[in-house]
Structure 1
């Protein structure tokens, strides 16, 4: 591609579509930590028998482990990229070793939003594939896996076709070249200035122009928003193009599809299927994020403030008349708790909801884990320094004692034998969560 690329840290997910064949991805739950971001994009290759597939990864610094070496912090990881065909046979495998050196400790913890970006090129013949990428942290041997399904078509089979859609937050044209900033995310809900849909058109039809429109549709295919026809010059065999997609505040939070349609040039303002030349489609998320996290259930997230907020503060958030207003009040509350207001991250917010996730996994009983006594203590005070339990085989009531570094102790008893531990000592807890 004839491009200068600047990568922005937000997760990239690009969807490959040709002659209305699309590649799609689910929007992730906001409480699921994404260790790295994976993208797979298909463009026309150098030969007529294969396409060029670009595999992009973005790894936030806080997702990997750094070791101090002298005055430098060092991180190393491997990316194992596997291409599986429709029968699950491995057609190709590549291993990429990455080394990161950083001087600033705060950056290694994600405080400055730094990340490591890589791009690997593949050449694939026509077919259906699954692209698997495994990230292996060299220092702790942790591994994380992500995958994408991909349909690769032979672009040469079509008189006119278009590539996958790349979302951009900005684009500049300099000396007939594009300087682009990919917005590496499926979620465009916070892009108040809109965004750009970038793609390539491949033309051997002999026509020198085509009309283009975009459509935003819901999961059932209903068109919620669309553009007027915009005529573009496509006289070359390959033309790089983009459409500006303005911000639409009327669209409710949710998952949608963005479709780019190429049409035969016509002065008729109506869209006729017989005028279709090609189309590409990808999914979009419209979610107003809080510190970079999508909140899947805002009502529940507000209720979970019970260990950090005063009842009046929760009531104020719940009294909002709309979800957008409620999310605004929710964020304003956490802005007051932010230990580093001059950065994009809110460590207090992240730690609190990470503890809630842990409580739900470890302390679930008759209630969700965050509602249990053990969950309450864990969320407010964090992980105990020492845990003592009744000896295995003990008859009758089972006990568990948690001790913290300040010698604060909590004793829990299980009367039922089914893990429903209730707080015995102290009988109540008056403290609230506070980031340290």
Structure 2
């Protein structure tokens, strides 16, 4: 019987043709591995997250600023400059496990007599965010403080701030500034209004001074979201043998003292600090002045310093309760496809670029209505940066301006006056100027409760009753000091 042959390994590695085949296979596999790596890299690049603040690109870039002057030498004072910005207005890019952005600052202090720059500072304030998934990251404040020794004299301060990743998004200011000797005895420095003041021994803290961590509030805005006004001031040439009456007064824009706190103080050293707190939560929205006074009780001699601030209490647009999610959804669900499209066009003044682009890509009426539900839910809830806006009130304003400002060529809500009315409400005062000589008709709208009081100027350039916005003092709006040329 023939013995069955045992299984033997195929002698593949023993012949030259086989080795050549193996070499080709290995080369092929290596090439495939490289291709796989390249494909993975391309996929990663395609899926890299976009700048996380892309949704804020259509929003104005705003800088908050304040300053205080303190005594220093016989010929110069110490000038502190305070800046702040919100993270939601900064463009961030991925950087490893974090997101990085920044604010570029240009600060120039120009001598009014010589035209020479006493301060010429160029700096980029880096900002790093570890987590952007939290709801409050957009309202996180970026704070910077700079101090300079400045000779006594008159100056002009120019500041430009811009998003370092998008220089076109910027804010600026220019104001006169005087540095002078504090010769009165006793004397008080400028009042610095702060977001917090805490006793401290940490001299390395960036906001440490006079044994305290003094956190400035460059926005000068207080209210329900920031109810406590912290006050810091330096006192000079105090008579340590006397008892002084220290008065804190809150004065409204009409000159009425709405809050007064007074106490008796005896100071241990001739040069010291005065620190106090007041609560602003009960104040009505508007502009106020905080006045700090030091009175010599026997003689009645008074020394004082003051600083303006603002109170903002975010209200709904009306006293009616906000829409419930159910009622809002039902109201939007009943819209036709044309009505949903039309409503978002009217609501574009509240939308950012990302929302506008996203809505334009929606293909079905139901997708548009679902988007509107989420859009109005966010607007009615409001945020730390934006007051709540009820859908019904917004659309009611649209109806008002459509009736008032529509022309043959443009609906009222598409006009400049219509947009301003929709966003800011009815103006407190309107100046109407008819055609005077060869001049063109124009209107000036005043809003006294917005910022420090603002105005909008509209000119009927073509004589057809369609007034164009040519100038406004509202931050983020069109600013043109030479607007009067449009009257010619």
Q: TM-score, normalised by structure 2?
A: 0.50
Counterpart check, 1:161 vs 2:187: yes
* Of 107, 115, 124, the match for 1:97: 124
Q: Against the structure 1 CA distance between its residues 239 and 311, is the aligned structure 2 distance closer, same or farther, given a 3 Å change threshold? A: farther
Q: Secondary structure at the match of 1:227?
A: strand
Match runs of 1:85-164 below 5 Å: 85-87=111-113, 89-92=115-118, 93-106=120-133, 111-142=137-168, 143-155=170-182, 157-164=183-190
Residue of structure 1 equivalent to 2:308: 283
Distance 2:175 2:200 in 1: 33
Q: Against the structure 1 CA distance between its residues 339 and 81, is the aligned structure 2 distance closer, same or farther, given a 3 Å change threshold? A: same
Distance 1:373 1:337 in 2: 26
Counterpart check, 1:233 vs 2:266: yes
Residue of structure 2 equivalent to 1:316: none
Q: What count of residue pairs does the alignment treat as equivalent? A: 304
* CA offset digits 1:350-369 (Å, max 9, x no partner): 99999999xx9xxx854997
Distance 2:387 2:381 in 1: 10
Match runs of 1:269-308 below 5 Å: 275-289=300-314, 298=317
* Of 210, 216, 220, the match for 1:186: 220
Which has a greater percent of helix? 2
Q: Against the structure 1 CA distance between its residues 311 and 167, is the aligned structure 2 distance closer, same or farther, given a 3 Å change threshold? A: farther
* CA offset digits 1:369-391 (Å, max 9, x no partner): 77249999xx9xxxxxxxxxxxx
Query: What's the offset of the Cα at 1:135?
Result: 1.1
Residue of structure 2 equivalent to 1:433: none
* Of 73, 78, 83, the match for 1:57: 83
Q: Against the structure 1 CA distance between its residues 87 and 241, is the aligned structure 2 distance closer, same or farther, given a 3 Å change threshold? A: same
Match runs of 1:209-220 below 5 Å: 209-220=243-254
Higher relative contact order (CA 8 A, sep 6+): 1
Counterpart check, 1:264 vs 2:324: no
Distance 2:86 2:268 in 1: 41
Q: Against the structure 1 CA distance between its residues 170 and 275, is the aligned structure 2 distance closer, same or farther, given a 3 Å change threshold? A: same
Distance 1:120 1:99 in 2: 15
Distance 2:394 2:81 in 1: 30
Residue of structure 1 equivalent to 2:413: 371
Query: What's the offset of the Cα at 1:98?
Result: 2.4
Match runs of 1:13-92 below 5 Å: 33=60, 35-45=62-72, 47-87=73-113, 89-92=115-118
Residue of structure 1 equivalent to 2:449: none
* Of 324, 332, 338, the match for 2:378: 338
Q: Is the 8 A contact 1:134 1:144 kept in 2?
A: yes
Match runs of 1:384-403 below 5 Å: none
Distance 1:368 1:214 in 2: 53
Q: Secondary structure at the match of 2:88?
A: helix
Residue of structure 1 equivalent to 2:36: none
Q: Against the structure 1 CA distance between its residues 102 and 237, is the aligned structure 2 distance closer, same or farther, given a 3 Å change threshold? A: same
Gap runs ≥5 in structure 1: 1-31, 267-273, 303-307, 313-332, 380-416, 421-436
Q: Secondary structure at the match of 1:221?
A: coil
Distance 1:158 1:231 in 2: 21
Q: Against the structure 1 CA distance between its residues 138 and 160, is the aligned structure 2 distance closer, same or farther, given a 3 Å change threshold? A: same
Distance 1:260 1:113 in 2: 31
Gap runs ≥5 in structure 2: 1-58, 202-209, 322-326, 332-372, 423-462, 467-488
Residue of structure 2 equivalent to 1:318: none
Residue of structure 1 equivalent to 2:199: 173
Q: Against the structure 1 CA distance between its residues 243 and 310, is the aligned structure 2 distance closer, same or farther, given a 3 Å change threshold? A: same
Q: Secondary structure at the match of 1:337?
A: helix
* CA offset digits 1:140-181 (Å, max 9, x no partner): 2223212444332212x2321111222244444357933444
Query: What's the offset of the Cα at 1:278?
Result: 1.5
CA-atom RMSD in angstroms: 5.0
Q: Against the structure 1 CA distance between its residues 311 and 33, is the aligned structure 2 distance closer, same or farther, given a 3 Å change threshold? A: farther
Q: TM-score, normalised by structure 1?
A: 0.55
* CA offset digits 1:162-204 (Å, max 9, x no partner): 1122224444435793344444432323268543322111115
Residue of structure 2 equivalent to 1:254: 286
Larger radius of gyration: 2
Q: Against the structure 1 CA distance between its residues 346 and 233, is the aligned structure 2 distance closer, same or farther, given a 3 Å change threshold? A: same
